[in-house]
């Protein structure tokens, strides 16, 4: 009894249920198990067991008492006493009653009157525990021959009615009604005179209401969405869900605003034998700005039809072939931000056909992008149509290595910029061996032939990206040897590994500047590409000359604790200038020093530090920290990035910046939590000489409170945006969340 004391005190403080029937607690009886013996072949016969059996020959009444169990077809009954009037066919059960129907629903009551089919009858003080989830309690109920249950003065909840200690508790929410009708064939509950109560005191009337009992989706209204923003005012969204089939559904969401015209959202999903896809579309009519570089005034804004389209799907045609698509399009650059749909600054579109088997890969891709940035004309965004890529791996038996062959072609088109067509064929041979002393040695040979055709190069402002008009060819060759020598041993109660590593790469001089640079612009020395054969990220640039790269890997593994770190640097033999821009850490013969350190302590601490140190004075050129501290319920996340590489501001793909990201969640109680996050731009003239920022510019803050248990989520969130772009203005926004879990789909 001591374990349930707090629950008893809480129950005394909870208002009394609206009807005596609303007793949703479990009853002190176990449902009847299936019959241990085979049922009679004749469906009209009833199989039963009991401790004692009496027969009144004068009145033709059979009375069974004790642990009485009756079985007929898939219907089962259990009670302390059962009386069967054979003349009227009336069966009366009393005491610790439990009835289970073919669907698995269990009904409990103080007294039940049934027909001799055990399918229909009347129950007093009824409780029905549904197999699909949830329970119904009522003062009085009946079930007809079709299995439909009708109850009076009833209550329904899908929530837990006991605490973790097994003590009775008030459910987070329940529906009380004058009448509830449950159809087990449709698995749907219909109410008359219903009210929904939250935490036993907040009551909202529901004049006409129905919902699925669980286990399947059905059409109906979903939880409304209420929020407020400075731009749109108060917003109310009421989604209506249409279950078109078990594998198809449609959700239509009207969104009404106090300060602007309404918006309509439509979402469609489908799953079939080949795969799945979903489509989302938004549409409205509101004011928009076309020139985002000047201050907005009423005269610079115009009314227009605005919207957004999003499609994502993948079909697996057979074991090897698949088709996928990802399409995203917006009517203008601020629509997604104004209506708080997405913060993306670029929408990528892709259609792909792929074939994959154990040793080959083939793909045909089409790519397009829509820019949502303030600067940057849409006409300079490339359209890749097509990109064709074929790769094949072949093992060779002479040395035990393998060949990787690749064929690739790409056509890039811009409506107001440079056009490029490219094709290449490459072959790479690799061989990995372990010496008797434990060194891991990898030999690599690489050869590639390219052909390019470029036009309208003057439309590209960065000279190093242009290339030259017309057709140009290029041959690439490289050879590499990579040696790792791991030293592994026991340390404390775990193990540690120290691995020196040396790599040599030789490649002849390349005349790269006649070739345009479309896919290798964001080059930077990092721990991830330190030992790469080519440290440019794409195909249009290849790092030539001969270089040596050396580094050290370290790993420590103890019970619940681990460290994984590396550090390295490279040295190039030639002193001639390279293609790499100043500030990337690779311009001079000696590169900068790069490394990474990862520390983990159980699931409580996760710390990752990436850095780049200037080779001359050890100045920090890259400093990136990511840390998570705490449990899954209460934690702090910290992210910090500073790029101080002194790279030219003309290279938009390599701009320096500094930012701070903070996030936290605190579990105040078992179901209550508070969370928040912030993003701050710390960039100043030290990182970006062209920046007008003062070194502390908040971008976005968010704070929210949430209550969430097994069947209810209630929350309130405040967010402030500090950037104004067109009609997406800075200001506060508020979101209220109320979600009844297990109600509907």
Give yes or no for residue 545 having a pLDDT over 60: yes
Q: Judge whether residue 3 has pLDDT over 60.
A: no
| Mean pLDDT of all residues belonging to the chain | 87
Shared domain check, 387 and 364 = no
- CATH code of the domain containing 83: 2.60.450.10
Asked whether residue 4 carries a pLDDT value surpassing 70, the answer given is no
**Are 744 and 241 a contacting pair, CB within 8 Å?**
yes
Structure tokens at 73: 């077809």
Are 447 and 347 within one domain?
A: no
Residues 104 and 155 reside in one and the same domain: yes
Residue recorded with tokens 């440290």: 535
Which residue did the predictor score with more confidence, 386 or 512? 386
Reported as a pLDDT band with limits 50, 70 and 90, residue 22 is low
527 located within any domain: yes
Q: Quick one: 418 and 503 in the same domain?
A: yes
- Co-location of 326 and 455 in the same domain: no
Residues 434, 553 share a domain: yes
Say yes or no: 385 and 242 in one domain.
Answer: no
**Residue 6 or residue 237, greater confidence:** 237
Based on the fold, state whether residues 365 and 385 are members of the same structural domain: no
Q: Is residue 250 part of a domain?
A: yes
In a domain, 637, yes or no: no
The Cα angle at residue 584 between residues 582 and 585, in degrees rounded to 5: 100
In order of 587, 660, 690, the CA distances from 687 in angstroms are: 19, 14, 9
Query: Average pLDDT for residues 99-103, to the nearest whole number?
Result: 83
Per-residue pLDDT tens over the stretch 218-277: 788 888 889 998 888 999 999 999 989 989 999 999 999 999 999 999 999 999 999 999
Q: Where do the DSSP E strands lie in 439-578?
A: 440-455, 470-484, 487-491, 494-507, 545-558, 561-572
**Do 483 and 467 have their domain in common?**
yes
Same domain as 325, residue 178: no
Residues in CB range of 2: below 8 A, 6 or more apart:
none
Q: Could you give the CA distance from residue 325 to residue 53 in angstroms, rounded to a whole number?
A: 70
Structural domain count, the chain: 3
Whether residue 356 sits in one domain with residue 248: yes
Q: What are phi and psi of 513, to 5 degrees?
A: -70, -15
pLDDT tens, position by position, 320-352: 999 999 999 999 988 998 898 998 989 999 999
- pLDDT over threshold 60, residue 14: no
316 within a domain of the structure (yes/no): yes
Last residue of a domain, one of 561, 585, 609: 585
Smallest Cα–Cα separation from 579: which of 420, 467, 424, 419?
467
Residue 666 lies in a domain: no
Of the listed ranges 351-360, 579-588, 667-676, 705-714, the one predicted with least confidence: 579-588
Helices (H) and strands (E) in the chain, counts: 3, 41
For residues 365 and 396, membership in a common domain is answered with no
Whole-model pTM: value is: 0.80
Q: What is the pLDDT of residue 116?
A: 65
All residues at 6 or more sequence positions from 312 whose CB lies less than 8 Å from its CB, including other chains: 277, 278, 325, 326, 327
Per-residue H/E/C for 296-340: CCHHHEEEEEEEEEEEEEEEECCCCEEEEEEEEEECCCCHHHHCC
Round the CA-based radius of gyration of the chain to a whole number and report it: 35
Residue ranges making up the domain that contains 410: 375-585
Distance CA 400, CA 105 (A): 64
């Amino acid at each position: 009894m001591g374990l349930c004391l707090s629950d008893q005190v809480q129950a005394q403080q909870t208002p009394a249920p609206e009807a005596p029937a609303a007793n949703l607690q479990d009853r002190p009886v176990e449902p009847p198990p299936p019959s241990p013996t085979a049922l009679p072949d004749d469906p009209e016969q009833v199989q039963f067991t009991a401790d004692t059996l009496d027969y009144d020959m004068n009145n033709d009444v059979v009375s069974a008492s004790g642990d009485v169990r009756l079985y007929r077809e898939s219907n089962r009954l259990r009670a302390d006493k059962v009386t069967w009037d054979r003349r009227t066919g009336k069966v009366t059960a009393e005491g610790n009653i439990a009835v289970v129907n073919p669907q698995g629903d269990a009904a409990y009551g103080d007294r039940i009157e049934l027909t001799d089919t055990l399918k229909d009858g009347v129950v007093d003080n009824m409780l029905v525990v549904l197999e699909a989830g949830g329970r119904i309690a009522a003062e009085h109920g009946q079930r007809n021959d079709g299995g439909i249950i009708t109850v009076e003065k009833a209550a329904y909840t899908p929530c837990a009615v006991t605490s973790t200690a097994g003590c009775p508790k008030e459910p987070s929410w329940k529906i009380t009604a004058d009448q509830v009708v449950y159809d087990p064939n449709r698995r749907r509950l219909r109410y008359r005179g219903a009210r929904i109560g939250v935490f036993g005191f907040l009551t909202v009337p529901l004049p006409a209401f129905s919902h699925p009992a669980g286990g399947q989706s059905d059409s109906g209204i979903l939880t409304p969405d209420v929020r407020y923003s400075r731009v749109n005012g108060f917003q109310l969204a009421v989604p209506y869900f249409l279950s078109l089939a078990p594998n198809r559904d449609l959700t239509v969401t009207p969104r009404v605003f106090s300060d602007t015209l309404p918006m309509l959202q439509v979402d469609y999903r489908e799953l079939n034998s080949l795969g799945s896809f979903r489509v989302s579309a938004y549409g409205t009519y509101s004011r928009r700005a076309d020139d985002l570089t000047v201050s907005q005034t009423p005269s610079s804004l115009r009314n227009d039809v605005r919207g957004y389209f999003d499609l994502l799907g993948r079909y697996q045609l057979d074991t090897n072939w698949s088709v996928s698509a990802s399409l995203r399009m917006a009517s203008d650059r601020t629509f997604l931000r104004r209506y708080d749909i997405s913060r993306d600054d670029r929408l990528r579109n892709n259609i792909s056909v792929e074939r994959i088997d154990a040793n080959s890969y083939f793909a045909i891709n089409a790519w397009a992008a829509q820019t949502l940035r303030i600067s940057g004309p849409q006409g300079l965004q490339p359209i890749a149509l097509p990109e064709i890529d074929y790769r094949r791996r072949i093992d060779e038996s002479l040395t035990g290595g393998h060949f990787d062959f690749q064929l690739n072609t790409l056509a890039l088109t811009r409506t107001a910029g440079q056009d490029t067509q490219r094709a290449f064929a490459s072959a790479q041979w690799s061989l990995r061996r372990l010496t008797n002393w434990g060194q891991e040695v990898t030999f690599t040979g690489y050869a590639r032939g390219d052909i390019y055709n470029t036009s309208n190069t003057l439309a590209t402002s960065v000279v190093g990206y242009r290339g030259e008009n017309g057709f140009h060819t290029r041959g690439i060759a490289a050879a590499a040897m990579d040696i790792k020598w791991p030293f592994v041993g026991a340390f404390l109660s775990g193990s540690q590994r120290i691995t020196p590593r040396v790599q040599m790469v030789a490649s002849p001089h390349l005349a790269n500047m006649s070739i345009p640079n479309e896919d290798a612009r964001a080059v930077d020395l990092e721990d991830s590409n330190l030992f790469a054969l080519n440290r440019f990220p794409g195909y249009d640039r290849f790092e030539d000359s001969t270089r040596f790269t050396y580094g050290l890997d370290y790993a420590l593994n103890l019970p619940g604790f681990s460290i994984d770190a590396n550090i390295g640097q490279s040295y190039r033999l030639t002193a001639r200038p390279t293609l790499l821009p100043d500030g990337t850490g690779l311009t001079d013969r000696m590169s900068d020093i790069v490394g990474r350190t990862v520390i983990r302590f159980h699931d409580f601490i996760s710390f990752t530090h990436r850095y780049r140190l200037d080779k001359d004075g050890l100045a920090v050129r890259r400093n990136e920290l990511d840390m998570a501290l705490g449990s899954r319920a209460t934690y702090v996340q910290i992210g910090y990035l500073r790029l101080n590489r002194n790279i030219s501001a003309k290279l938009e793909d390599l701009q320096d910046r500094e930012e701070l990201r903070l996030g936290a969640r605190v579990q105040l109680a078992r179901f209550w939590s508070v969370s928040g996050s912030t993003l701050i731009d710390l960039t100043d003239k030290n990182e970006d000489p062209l920046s007008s920022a003062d070194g502390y510019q908040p971008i976005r803050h968010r704070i929210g409170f949430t209550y969430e248990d097994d069947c209810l989520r209630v929350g309130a969130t405040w967010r402030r945006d500090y950037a104004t772009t067109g009609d997406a203005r800075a200001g506060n926004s508020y979101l209220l969340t109320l979600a009844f879990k297990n109600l509907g789909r």
